[in-house]
């Protein structure tokens, strides 16, 4: 699969061939949310694709003030693909954002930041391409109810796969086949109730240009994952946006709700975005060295060391929600102990087993899908390149089950950990951001952390929870 068009001429030919009536221009904000403007096909010209489309940047969270609101969307036509969900033939084009006031790519546009990260890689001399392979897990629920008010707070998610549904009355009867808590990995039908739904998702993902490898039920009740082929940093981040769109829409059109929320179920596994990474130069994988531990080169170790050195700040981009840190607890395949290991899924960085020269890579296991993929990948690349530059050595390898270690043992061994809260990661970002500076501007970093405090940390910290009532009401 891959690209459907390579230039403007091919774009218009493709649109004519597919009788396209609408062009949907899309861009990502700092949260990673997709926004869009839809044009009539006959209103789009080659000159417009070159010069861009104006839009109101003040209506996007934490972007422009209202007195400097005019911005330009710059379409990247080789990202074009047909929208599989619209009633009328519509083509989607992913865009970058251009700042008319500074006459440059917008410093808060995540996709533009990711492109700067690739320039930084090239200028560093470390490599000429960075490959990323994200693995985005998701839940599918049958019903979702939420209430957040001054005197009450409430949520309830439901799936027929949930163990809590054992005594639910269904019109067709209760089958009793359920994966149970932590029991969802690989059982066949009828325990796995999402086979056909995932198959439809896989078919549509292929339809929009992703190279799909496999799909399977994940560990938790109602949880799934679909594997797609890796790409360079920009392609991989674009694919995350397409992947999330397709998964959500296929679930929606089947009367269900898909979410990439890190921890929607207490006591069961959460949703991660494990990210495989490698750096190449002149067609050679620089992370590979035969005979070393996991066939991992010194450069790769230093890259891991850089991510670990700056992990608490990097987490502000890779784990950017308060819910992220409810996933990063021991025992749920969401490691927070910053060491590396071959095959060991309790380490924050895993070296996949059996990889040859072309496939050797590192897998960071702490990120999740609330991350804006462009910012998360760019932040990890910046940290990794800083590690290569300064030859940071990560702690490890450690092949034992790290979940069995007590907090005292972790401290005695002086093994660093991920932050335990979003507040902790944002405070780390304030202290430690110089490694990002070749790519992220100081203004972007300042606005980002203020925005996350205002929209995530402070509202979350101010709200009482059901558990607090349970544990303190009678004190």
Rg from Cα positions in the chain:
23
DSSP string computed for 330-352: TTSS---B--EEES-TTSSEEE-
The single residue of 111, 301, 365, 423 carrying the catalytic annotation is 365
Please tell me whether 420 is known to bind a ligand. no
Question: Is 420 in the active site?
Answer: no
Secondary structure class of 281 (helix, strand, coil): strand
Using CA atoms, how far apart are residues 270 and 92, in angstroms rounded to an integer?
Answer: 31
Please tell me whether 292 is known to bind a ligand. no
Please tell me whether 111 is known to bind a ligand. no
Question: Is 225 in the active site?
Answer: yes
Please tell me whether 463 is known to bind a ligand. no
Nearest Cα neighbor of 384 from 281, 305, 278 is 305
Please tell me whether 270 is known to bind a ligand. yes
Please tell me whether 454 is known to bind a ligand. no
Nearest Cα neighbor of 134 from 395, 455, 363, 372 is 363
Question: Is 413 in the active site?
Answer: no
Please tell me whether 10 is known to bind a ligand. no
Residues 6+ positions from 265 with CB-CB distance below 8 Å: 139, 157, 220, 221, 222
Nearest Cα neighbor of 218 from 276, 274, 137, 160 is 137
The single residue of 99, 107, 192, 225 carrying the catalytic annotation is 225
The single residue of 363, 368, 386, 427 carrying the catalytic annotation is 363
Please tell me whether 278 is known to bind a ligand. yes
Please tell me whether 182 is known to bind a ligand. no
Question: Is 36 in the active site?
Answer: no
Residue 146, beta-bridge partner list:
155
Question: Is 218 in the active site?
Answer: yes
The single residue of 345, 399, 432, 460 carrying the catalytic annotation is 345
* Token pair listed for 111: 């996709």
Please tell me whether 327 is known to bind a ligand. yes
The single residue of 96, 99, 218, 427 carrying the catalytic annotation is 218
Please tell me whether 358 is known to bind a ligand. yes
Please tell me whether 9 is known to bind a ligand. no
The single residue of 135, 238, 368, 386 carrying the catalytic annotation is 135
Please tell me whether 276 is known to bind a ligand. yes
Please tell me whether 269 is known to bind a ligand. yes
8 Å CB contact between 451 and 30: yes
The single residue of 217, 274, 312, 361 carrying the catalytic annotation is 274
* Token pair listed for 414: 């002086």
The single residue of 137, 238, 268, 427 carrying the catalytic annotation is 137
DSSP-derived secondary structure letter, 45: -
Question: Is 26 in the active site?
Answer: no
Question: Is 10 in the active site?
Answer: no
* Residue that has been written with the tokens 């904000």 in this structure: 29
Using CA atoms, how far apart are residues 110 and 27, in angstroms rounded to an integer?
Answer: 9
Please tell me whether 225 is known to bind a ligand. yes
Measured from the Cβ of residue 190, the count of other Cβ atoms closer than 10 Å reads 11
Question: Is 423 in the active site?
Answer: no
Question: Is 298 in the active site?
Answer: no
Please tell me whether 310 is known to bind a ligand. no
Give the ranges where 142-257 is alpha helix by DSSP (H).
195-207, 233-253
Give the ranges where 18-165 is alpha helix by DSSP (H).
46-51, 110-124
Feature table: binding site for ATP: 276-278, 345, 358
Feature table: binding site: 135, 137, 218, 225, 269-270, 274, 276-278, 327, 333, 345, 358, 363, 365
Residues labelled as active-site residues? 56, 135, 137, 218, 225, 274, 345, 363, 365
Feature table: binding site for Mg(2+): 135, 137, 218, 225, 274, 363
Feature table: binding site for L-glutamate: 269-270, 327, 333, 345, 365
């Amino acid at each position: 699969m891959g690209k459907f068009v390579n230039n403007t001429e091919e774009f218009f030919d493709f649109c004519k061939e597919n009788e396209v009536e609408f062009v949907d221009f899309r861009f990502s904000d700092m949260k990673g949310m997709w926004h869009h403007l839809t044009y009539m096909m006959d209103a789009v010209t080659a000159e417009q694709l070159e010069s861009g489309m104006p839009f109101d940047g003040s209506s996007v969270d934490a972007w422009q003030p209202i007195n400097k609101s005019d911005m330009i969307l710059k379409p990247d036509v080789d990202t074009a693909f047909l929208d599989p969900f619209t009633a009328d033939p519509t083509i989607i084009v992913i865009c970058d954002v251009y700042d008319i006031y500074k006459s440059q790519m917008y410093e808060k546009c995540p996709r533009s930041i990711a492109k700067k990260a690739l320039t930084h890689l090239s200028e560093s001399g470390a490599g000429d391409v960075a490959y990323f392979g994200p693995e985005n897990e998701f839940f599918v629920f049958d019903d979702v109810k939420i209430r957040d008010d001054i005197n009450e707070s409430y949520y309830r998610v439901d799936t027929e796969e949930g163990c809590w549904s054992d005594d639910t009355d269904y019109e067709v009867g209760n089958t009793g086949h359920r994966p149970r808590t932590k029991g969802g990995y690989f059982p066949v039908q009828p325990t796995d109730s999402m086979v056909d739904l995932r198959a439809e998702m896989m078919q549509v993902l292929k339809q929009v240009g992703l190279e799909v490898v496999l799909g399977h039920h994940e560990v938790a009740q109602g949880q799934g994952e679909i594997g797609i082929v890796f790409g360079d940093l920009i392609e991989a981040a674009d694919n995350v946006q397409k992947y999330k769109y397709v998964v959500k829409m296929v679930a929606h059109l089947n009367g269900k709700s898909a979410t990439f929320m890190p921890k929607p179920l207490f006591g069961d596994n959460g949703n991660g975005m494990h990210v495989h990474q490698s750096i190449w130069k002149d067609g050679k994988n620089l992370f590979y060295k035969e005979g070393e531990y996991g066939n991992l080169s010194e450069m790769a170790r230093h890259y891991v060391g850089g991510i670990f050195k700056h992990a608490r700040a990097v987490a502000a981009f890779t784990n950017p929600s308060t819910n992220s840190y409810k996933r990063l607890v021991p025992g749920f395949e969401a490691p927070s102990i910053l060491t590396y290991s071959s095959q060991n899924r309790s380490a924050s960085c895993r070296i996949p087993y059996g990889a040859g020269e072309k496939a050797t890579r590192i897998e960071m296991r702490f990120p999740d899908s609330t991350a804006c993929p462009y910012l998360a990948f760019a932040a990890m690349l910046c940290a990794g390149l800083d590690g290569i530059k300064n030859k940071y050595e990560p702690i490890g390898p450690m092949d034992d089950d790290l979940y069995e270690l007590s907090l005292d043992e972790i401290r005695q061994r002086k093994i660093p950990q991920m932050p335990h809260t979003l507040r902790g990661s944002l405070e780390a970002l304030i202290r430690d951001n110089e490694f990002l500076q070749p790519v992220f501007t100081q203004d972007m970093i300042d606005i980002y952390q203020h925005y996350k405090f205002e929209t995530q940390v402070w509202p979350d910290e101010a709200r009482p929870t059901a558990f607090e009532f349970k544990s303190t009401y009678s004190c």
